[in-house]
Chain A
Amino acid sequence: MTFPGPDINWVAFTPPLVLLLTAALAVLFALYQESGRLTAQLSLLGLVVAALFNLHLFQVVRQTDAFTSFGLRYLADTPAIAFNFVILIGTVLAVLMSYHYLERADLDHPEYYPLILLSACGAMVMVAAGDLITLLLGLEIMSLAVYVLSAWRQGSRESEEAGMKYFLLGAFASAFLVYGIALLYGASGHFVYAEIAAVLRGDGFDQLLLATLGGMLVLAGLAFKAALAPFHQWAPDAYTGAPTPVTAFMSVVVKAAAIAALLRIFSSVFPDLSPLVGQVFAVLVALTLVLGNLAALFQRGVKRMLAYSAVAHAGYLGLAVLAAGTVGTRAAIWYLTAYTLMNVGAFAVLSLIADRNDRGDDLERFAGLGRMKPGLAAALTVFLLSLAGIPPLAGFTGKILVFQAALQAGYVALAIIGIVMSVVAVVYYFRVVAVMYFREPEYELPAISSWATSMAIVVTVAGTVLLGIFPGWWYGLLQAGRQLLAGM
């Protein structure tokens, strides 16, 4: 019996590796630093390097077949690379948002940035995972860092409660996932998606019930991370309690990773399980769309409204996941790209308007903003209209792609639920726009200026508008190279 050496393709996982090294370096660095600014700059540098490596990887993958590592356990296909870009953009924006925010809010501990980087690194591993163990590994790396970050506001009951809640429920969800993995392994004898799928498809497989049960539990674990109802309960509290940059990071990066994992499993293992899994997921998506949007409608605070809207958007992403095998993958990635820009942008504007403890995000505070701060108001208008799916902004194109995917896959009823709920969404998004422009100023706003946050806003506005007007080039890139692999 020959024992093959480990199959390590270093190029495939350079981006997360760079983040890991940067994070390790930043922790050392942080030991000797009072202020987090240098750590932030180091982190930005690391992120840029990771992006360059990701770009290199994209070139390599387009030309050669070198896109897996550790057997089929780590996959660097075009979707993974695209997800990496989304994660990197989200992380860069979160770091930019934090740059002055942390000092202003008295939260400036240098460990903050390494944790963000570690979490992004975990997300990248999750995105590329071709087997259940790698998936779990990535998920835990990502989550542990985020648990800490969400409770970053020490001494604030709200933040601590949010972190605690997130941690306990998250641990519970991980347990679901592990149990599901165990059952799938018990039924099939494999961890790698492709091998599981092969066993499921093979003759004489008689453990369908066990495997389906395992699949359901895996689904529950990932639905928790993606904040799909009814596993979304943690999200509004965690999003509201966490410092705003962390909220932006969580609502984007964590969601991207979970959606990526769902896409892979839905295009490999799940089709061979009982159709019940797909039906259950469809119900989850419908519930998310309805609950997320209706709850957002009744929020007074803008941050909490955005928190629920983030839940609702998980539902739209879920529509694309249902069509995972076909056009759904590209639709989901496209939607996530748009969502990353507009959602982080909205939170960035919010962080310049709310008080330093993140209070004071009532609707009334936005009254007359169009007069007092025309630039900020215009940016927020762009983000909100894009989130509402109004053309010609990125959110609109995303919506078209997602609904097209769902309709093509035959989910007409779900698409109609989604559209009816987007009408509700327009009402709550436009309410903020209306207050900004149609009412006279009532509050004296804190004079906050931060070039880093402003830069994040400029980038996100430009991205939201340009992606909306020229959606073709990003979609074209998504079509290039190796499409979604599931270790096959």
Chain B
Amino acid sequence: MTLTVILIPLITALFLFFSEAADPLVRRFLGLLGTVSTFLVALYLPGTPGMSSLWLPGVNVYFALSPDGASAVLVLVASLVMIPTALYASGRVERRTGSFLALLLIMQAGLNGIFLAKDLILFYLFWELTLIPSLMMLGIWGGTKRRQAVQKYLIYAVTGSFLMLVGMLALRPLSGAASYRLEDLLAVTPALPAGTQLWIFLLFTLAFAVKLPLWPLHSWLPDFHEQNHPSGVADVAGTLYKVGGWGFFAWALPLLPGAAAVVAPVLLVLAAFTAVYAAVIATSQTNLKRLLAYASLSHMGLVGVGLFGLHLTGLSGAIYLLAAQMVSTGGLFLLSGMLYERRKTFELSEYGGLSRSAPALAAVTLFVLFTSIGVPGLANFPGEFMSLLGAFHASPWLAALATLSVIAAGVYGVNLYQRLYQDRETQPVADLRELELAVLVPILAGILWLGLAPGPQLERIEVQTRIIAQTVQPGEEIPMVTLGGRP
């Protein structure tokens, strides 16, 4: 059962690779078939038993997957976002559509693997597996400066993850764990000496901070988004692939609590700075995609703020925000693709007054922008609020600083809407077409769902959060703080 959310996309991808000569509708059908059925399985994932079988006997690596706690939530939201993404890709990517969709689905398989893996080495396997399709999408379908962007991205990602591998491989011999499975590691790694924990945690941090991303390891991100295919589809995949926060949450923090307690305050500063810095930079961007890249970076800063507060509320909120921004940032990138199709540019100076000719497009954009800003009742709000609340327990000052990013988000969000849709009217454009409407409906539904009913998902996340909070701060009385049921 758990394995199916990885196998379905992989098998679909295999068919898609050989569908280059087929009718475009066949490709669209295949893409939808793969993503929709994955989503349907993901709906039933919570509560199903995981799997665990010996994969590499010599070093006791297990093929262990489980949809416990937050894993199922992230798989569910990511699968939801993948449906409109694949649909839009099937209509907008002109060249070698089949291969593009195939890579997209391989990414989905890898992402689901990242979220579900319960063995450290298996987690790494999916982590690295996902890199290749994202590189290929950027390299084959990217813009004119894609080669530099690929190189930068590759070097950042690989340096981080390879060094992390050393830390991972050292963990078992040093701790004497029976295998690389999470449960076996959890039993012994928290007892490792402080020095050992520290260097392994730092190796993990390097990889996760690149993928979170966290200042100063973020500089691949703007180029990555700017150079990706103008449909914005690859950017959505890239947004889903910002799994550094998940790495901290699921592995680094619980496995190495001693080091986490030492390093987290420093990371909290970096995360708060990232949130504000990126939001401020975003206000001054003239390129739509770069603006969105920085906006997304700012949100990831908030995810970090929630995580490194090491507080129950913040940890849950961070993961909820991670899930919510998949929908909201993903939606914005898809909208940027729709705008590009109309004007063939991402330069904001070329836009203006579109709300008169495309009122529906304007309304949807405003809605998604509001989500991104963190308006209550929409997807991002619960996560942002809880992240900041959690950080407040660790450092009121840093939490206050990070809150500034929410204000800055209001500035760049509203400003962006004005520059695109208001002011003097430029050339009129077409309003939403049927395909675009079909693409946006799941996004809007997801935003409302995550915004209005955060309770069930938060509860699932919290099961896992409590384990972390207990290992990181043992003995401390942890009150059950949740926004469950609150609109």
Q: Is the CB of B54 within 8 A of A419?
A: no
Partner of B125, one of A396, A419, A426: A396
Min Cβ gap A395→B in Å is 12
A430-B154, A472-B57 known; A404 vs B162 contact (CB < 8 Å): no
Provide a sorted-by-A list of 25 A–B residue pairs whose CB atoms are within 8 angstroms: A330-B58, A370-B140, A390-B128, A392-B125, A396-B125, A396-B128, A400-B61, A400-B169, A401-B58, A403-B169, A404-B58, A404-B169, A404-B172, A404-B173, A407-B170, A415-B166, A419-B166, A420-B162, A422-B162, A423-B155, A434-B147, A434-B150, A438-B150, A472-B56, A475-B56
B366 on interface, CB distance cutoff 8 Å: no
Q: In the bound complex, how far is the Cα of B196 from the Cα of A412, in angstroms?
A: 12
Using an 8 Å CB-CB cutoff, how does the interface string of A315-346 with B read, 1 for contact, 0 for none?
00000000000010011001000000000000
**Contacting residue for A412 out of B131, B151, B163, B170, CB 8 A:** B170
Q: Is B132 an interface residue (CB 8 A)?
A: yes
B173 touches A408 (CB 8 A): yes
Pairwise interchain contact A401-B59, C-beta atoms closer than 8 A: yes
Complex Cα spacing A476 to B54, Å: 11
Q: Which residues of A contact B129 (CB under 8 A)?
A: 390-392
Quick one: given A390-B132, A422-B162, are A427 and B173 in contact (CB under 8 Å)?
Answer: no
A291-337, CB < 8 A from B? 327, 330-331, 334
The A interface is mostly helix, strand or loop, or mixed, namely helix
Residue A466 interfacial (CB < 8 Å): no
Chain A 369-391 residues near chain B, CB threshold 8 A: 370, 385, 390-391
| A contact residues around B136 at 8 Å (CB) | 437
Q: How far is the CB of B262 from chain A (nearest CB, A)?
A: 21
A438 to B136, CA, bound (A): 8
A423 contact set on B, CB distance < 8 A: 155, 158-159, 162
- Measured between beta carbons, the chain B residues less than 8 angstroms from A397 are 56
Distance in angstroms between the alpha carbons of A35 and B239 in the assembled complex: 59
Q: Does B121 interact with chain A (Cβ within 8 Å)?
A: yes
B146 interfacial by beta-carbon distance below 8 Å: yes
Tell me the smallest distance from the CB of A471 to a CB of chain B, in Å.
5
Q: Residues 402-433 of chain A: 1 if any B CB is under 8 Å from the residue's CB, otherwise 0? A: 01100110001001100110110011001000
List the interface of chain B (C-beta within 8 A of A).
54-59, 61, 121, 124-126, 128-129, 131-132, 135-136, 139-140, 146-147, 150-151, 154-155, 158-159, 162-163, 165-166, 169-170, 172-173
Known A331-B58, A400-B121, A434-B150; contact A407-B169, beta-carbon cutoff 8 A: yes
Interface residue? A33 (CB, 8 A): no
Give chain A residues whose Cβ lies under 8 Å from the Cβ of B159. 423
* Secondary structure call for the B interface: helix
- Tell me, in angstroms, the Cα distance from A415 to B146 when the chains sit together: 33
The CB with the most chain B CB atoms within 10 A, among A416, A422, A434, A479, is that of A434
> A392-B129, A479-B57 given as contacts; is B165 within 8 A of A403 (CB)?
yes
Chain B min CB distance to A370 (Å): 8
B165 contacts across to A, CB distance below 8 A: 400, 403, 419
Query: Closest chain B residue to A408 by CB distance?
Result: B173
Q: Is the CB of A437 within 8 A of B162?
A: no
Q: Known contacts A391-B129, A400-B59, A422-B162; decide if A407 and B173 are in contact (CB<8 Å).
A: yes
Q: Return B279 CB to nearest CB of chain A, in Å.
A: 32
| Cα(A400)–Cα(B124), bound, Å | 11
**Residue on A with the closest CB to B163?**
A419
User: Do B155 and A427 touch across chains, with their CB atoms under 8 A apart?
Assistant: yes
A-B contacts besides A400-B169, A471-B55, 10 pairs, CB < 8 Å: A334-B58, A390-B129, A392-B129, A396-B125, A397-B56, A415-B170, A416-B166, A419-B165, A420-B163, A475-B57
Chain B nearest CB from A173 CB (Å) reads 32
Q: B residues within 8 A CB of A426?
A: 154, 158, 162
Q: In the complex, which residues of chain A have a beta carbon less than 8 angstroms from the beta carbon of B166?
A: 403, 407, 412, 415-416, 419
Chain B residues whose CB sits within 8 angstroms of the CB of A437 once the complex forms:
136, 139-140
Least Cβ–Cβ distance between B105 and chain A, in angstroms: 16
Residue among A391, A419, A430, A475 making CB contact with B58, cutoff 8 Å: A475
Residues of A within 8 A of B172 (CB): 404
Contact of B56 among A385, A400, A412, A415 (CB under 8 A): A400
Instruction: Write the nearest CB–CB distance from B39 to chain A, whole angstroms.
Output: 24
Give Cα A403 to B172, complex, Å. 12
Complex Cα–Cα for A423 and B159 (A): 6
| Interchain CB contact under 8 A, A327 and B58 | yes
CA distance A432 to B234 in the complex (A): 22
Taken residue by residue from 178 to 196, chain A's Cβ proximity to chain B (1 for < 8 Å, 0 otherwise) reads as 0000000000000000000
CA distance A412 to B174 in the complex (A): 11
Q: How far is the CB of B22 from chain A (nearest CB, A)?
A: 15
Q: Are B125 and A391 in contact, CB atoms less than 8 angstroms apart?
A: yes
Name A391's contact: one of B124, B139, B147, B170 (CB within 8 Å): B124
Chain A residues within an 8 Å CB radius of B163: 416, 419-420
Question: Closest Cβ of chain A: how far from B192's Cβ, in Å?
Answer: 14
Residues of A within 8 A of B170 (CB): 407, 412, 415
Chain A 424-452 interface 0/1 with B at a Cβ cutoff of 8 Å (1 = within): 00110010001001100000000000000
Determine the residue in chain A with the shortest Cβ distance to B56.
A471
In the A-B complex, the 7 residue pairs with the closest CB atoms:
A391-B125, A438-B139, A404-B59, A408-B173, A426-B158, A419-B162, A391-B128
Quick one: which of B131, B163, B173 has the most chain A CB within 10 A? B173
> What separation, in Å, do the CA atoms of A9 and B128 have in the docked complex?
49
